[in-house]
Structure 1
């Protein structure tokens, strides 16, 4: 007869009773035993490790100093914009030089070839203004498709001091982001159902407030000027990278390109570092916008949900794998698609407060952040939770409005669920 697992055990370090739940890590809240049984993901290379270290330092400094002002007002951001404009000036110079050489070199192959080469490089390095997914890829909603969702977005935008978006792209991952698209720089919100579906209505307001706060606060890295300059520099580094397993001629070319490659790489690192502190300030300000819109409590709860984003990805993959193994007792793909998001919400909803506390402690130990442009998550949460004057909710979704938004998202939910079940097993 199989014996049941004990509901508690003694901590091997301090002797306190430790609750045991087979679904989660067993750890001791008194002494911290086994709070972080895993190991943090190692950065890819020394430069990435340095970038993470600097990002964490910026986040800690800003937390200690306090945050005020807009994200693009500090001297580093102003210098970053100037440097970005210089990068774009080089691209424009290549285009002009290519046109001049092409015109003046008419009739000679070398002049024609050089002109075409310069114009080609300028074309590849040209600023890009973003685009929406092609038809048949991720669902794209416009105001006429989801008036209640856009109404909620507009209401939140008014609270944080900006306007709403022109399109919403529905994705699968546990994330949300804003950007622009097209020459007119229209606004787009990318909304991951892996995040949206596990949030309560007020937490959804918080995530909208956070993302729209990036528009309101003038986040430098979200702007087309700096973003495109970073992209152009990354392409330069790619073009100038040494050839692997080179021939004698290629080895000579690698030597010739070494100096310009490191110059370009240095400019890329400089621009990245100039905007990194502003990016971290922008995240703190966006958190503040989330609190103003949804309440400080809701913004704090959102920080906790960020900590289980990895569990969301694992659960979606588990659902996909199970659907692909239906011959061995798994559900059919149609069955897996139906109710996918409800099952995900139920799975995340079953995470107990004790596990969230463990994740919060682990985040503090590791300096967890969404990425290197974000401050450490535990500092973001602490700044909100310890606010001297907590914000009440300015936007309060009703049951009717929440149901109406759910109905508008029914079609996209089905499409994205189909994509998850089809693709996530790989």
Structure 2
């Protein structure tokens, strides 16, 4: 389907939104006419009131002709002087694919690449073009894979996909606005009815009478009915536009394979879901490990540190590349399932280009570390940029140590703020289970007595004691958290200490507690 026909289809679908509004207004007008002719006076006024109330949001929706303007484009803009090799690659690919190169290239912090265009006249006239390239994506691709991704995005330009995306998106926004508006009004009606019934119930209770059960099932039903009508049209709109969007993605994949090669395109498509999962894991387990304590990795490593994880877990990622999603990310995802996309590309004839461009994609940048640091500066919030920066080993040690300290808070509070020596004295004085009884516990644990109560309390007491002893070992330098890119951080202790600590904690939390082993373990620290 050509750009003109696709523009016409998008326009018809968008017009359908307004036609639906006019039909609803006509239906409401018909109800008013019927009420005027046949309904009695009191019912007629009630019907008029309901139809006017329903007509107001419909009319408001008809005048929502403009979608909100997007904010400033994200990412870091780079000129040809900044990144000559990257720009040369993009221009070469654009020329080979037969389209105009983007006017801007912006580096982002996403595992993604994308293009946009500020089109005019329903997408019939092109505008300023922007290409967005995620540095975490580049971190996980070779040069040939990046060329395939960029060729795919440029394929959207050559197929006029970007020129029509704004028009298509407008219809989605309009329908979503109407549905949200009707649901909001329905919720307001429910809240109003609930408040009325609760007030009535309070009056009945004050008079010593039985209050009726609150029932708001019928409140806002007319608004919810209107929302269902627009929801049905919205589903039709999405089905009509998403089928075209998915065809566009498959066409862009074929264009990429023709320019960058079959194997490079398939390799890049296989890598993207694995890189996305790895990046999410990296951000949650490494980059943001210390944010609650005001700590971040060294500058350039917040988004650049994923390279260490990818290198250390290469085998694991290789397995993920074989487990491709068989379904779209959601029913409304504009991309077909990745398994289908890869199968289509791998079914193409061998073009003999499997060995091309195997160097790292980041090598296309003049100074990758500088670029990663600069993208941080435009992507992180001001609060994040003010955090203390640490090298990875120190970041892991300080963050995990702070978490250990957090783990001591409940037991410290239960012991009245006592430090470890005072707590051990209290345990020796026979107050262990009294203190343990003040720790947070479940309803079942609260109801338990005797030995059962001790069994419920024992894990919490042991966990708190372990944290307090570990905190002392960390503070003295006898223990240190070690960074690992292949698994969780590990606590490095002197030989024999883990076994000593386990036995000492068992003794201190026994039915008849004995703190002597713990004191022996801590004695060298006291001497220091």
How far apart are 1:161 and its partner, in Å? 2.3
CA contact 1:81–1:225 (8 Å) conserved in 2: yes
Inter-partner Cα distance in structure 2 for 1:336 and 1:197: 17
The 1:127–1:70 alpha-carbon spacing in structure 2 relative to 1, beyond 3 Å, is same
Inter-partner Cα distance in structure 2 for 1:213 and 1:374: 15
Match of 1:132? 72
Inter-partner Cα distance in structure 2 for 1:181 and 1:404: 29
Inter-partner Cα distance in structure 2 for 1:339 and 1:402: 19
CA contact 2:257–2:265 (8 Å) conserved in 1: yes
How far apart are 1:218 and its partner, in Å? 3.3
CA contact 2:57–2:182 (8 Å) conserved in 1: no
Inter-partner Cα distance in structure 2 for 1:338 and 1:346: 13
Inter-partner Cα distance in structure 2 for 1:398 and 1:358: 21
How far apart are 1:251 and its partner, in Å? 8.5
The 1:257–1:323 alpha-carbon spacing in structure 2 relative to 1, beyond 3 Å, is closer
How far apart are 1:222 and its partner, in Å? 5.2
Deviations 1:309-359 (A, max 9, x none): 1111211232323344789xxxx63x5334455542232244445753454
**73, 90, 107: which one pairs with 1:153?**
90
1:347 aligns with 2:309: yes
Inter-partner Cα distance in structure 2 for 1:141 and 1:91: 45
- Structure 1: tracts of 5 or more residues without a match: 1-68, 93-115
1:247 aligns with 2:192: yes
Is the partner of 1:261 in helix, strand or coil? Answer: helix
Match of 2:259? 293
Match of 1:87? 17
Inter-partner Cα distance in structure 1 for 2:329 and 2:227: 30
Is the partner of 2:298 in helix, strand or coil? Answer: helix
1:378 aligns with 2:323: no
The 1:202–1:336 alpha-carbon spacing in structure 2 relative to 1, beyond 3 Å, is same
Match of 1:210? 152
Inter-partner Cα distance in structure 2 for 1:421 and 1:195: 25
Is the partner of 1:199 in helix, strand or coil? Answer: coil
Inter-partner Cα distance in structure 1 for 2:130 and 2:162: 17
Match of 1:8? none
CA contact 1:203–1:301 (8 Å) conserved in 2: yes
CA contact 1:175–1:191 (8 Å) conserved in 2: yes
How far apart are 1:123 and its partner, in Å? 6.3
Is the partner of 1:275 in helix, strand or coil? Answer: helix
Inter-partner Cα distance in structure 2 for 1:151 and 1:164: 10
Match of 1:177? 114
The 1:401–1:226 alpha-carbon spacing in structure 2 relative to 1, beyond 3 Å, is same
Is the partner of 2:116 in helix, strand or coil? Answer: strand
The 1:310–1:285 alpha-carbon spacing in structure 2 relative to 1, beyond 3 Å, is same
Match of 2:39? none
Match of 1:314? 281
TM-score norm. by structure 2 comes to 0.51
Match of 1:105? none
Deviates more, 1:159-168 or 1:402-411: 402-411
Inter-partner Cα distance in structure 1 for 2:100 and 2:303: 30
Is the partner of 1:311 in helix, strand or coil? Answer: helix
How far apart are 1:146 and its partner, in Å? 4.3
How far apart are 1:179 and its partner, in Å? 2.1
Match of 2:501? none
Match of 1:111? none
Deviations 1:158-187 (A, max 9, x none): 222221222233322212222234867422
Is the partner of 1:237 in helix, strand or coil? Answer: helix
CA contact 1:300–1:384 (8 Å) conserved in 2: yes
Inter-partner Cα distance in structure 2 for 1:215 and 1:346: 34
Inter-partner Cα distance in structure 1 for 2:176 and 2:127: 22
Is the partner of 1:246 in helix, strand or coil? Answer: helix
1:402 aligns with 2:364: yes
Is the partner of 1:211 in helix, strand or coil? Answer: helix
Inter-partner Cα distance in structure 1 for 2:305 and 2:57: 55
**304, 312, 323: which one pairs with 2:270?**
304
The 1:396–1:126 alpha-carbon spacing in structure 2 relative to 1, beyond 3 Å, is same
The 1:126–1:73 alpha-carbon spacing in structure 2 relative to 1, beyond 3 Å, is closer
Inter-partner Cα distance in structure 1 for 2:171 and 2:364: 40
Inter-partner Cα distance in structure 2 for 1:81 and 1:220: 15
Deviations 1:242-276 (A, max 9, x none): 21643249988823323432222222111100012
CA contact 2:82–2:366 (8 Å) conserved in 1: no
- Number of residue pairs matched by the alignment: 326
CA contact 1:219–1:278 (8 Å) conserved in 2: no
CA contact 2:11–2:167 (8 Å) conserved in 1: yes
Is the partner of 2:366 in helix, strand or coil? Answer: helix
Structure scoring higher RCO (CA < 8 A, sep ≥ 6) equals 1
Inter-partner Cα distance in structure 2 for 1:117 and 1:216: 40
Deviates more, 1:170-179 or 1:293-302: 170-179
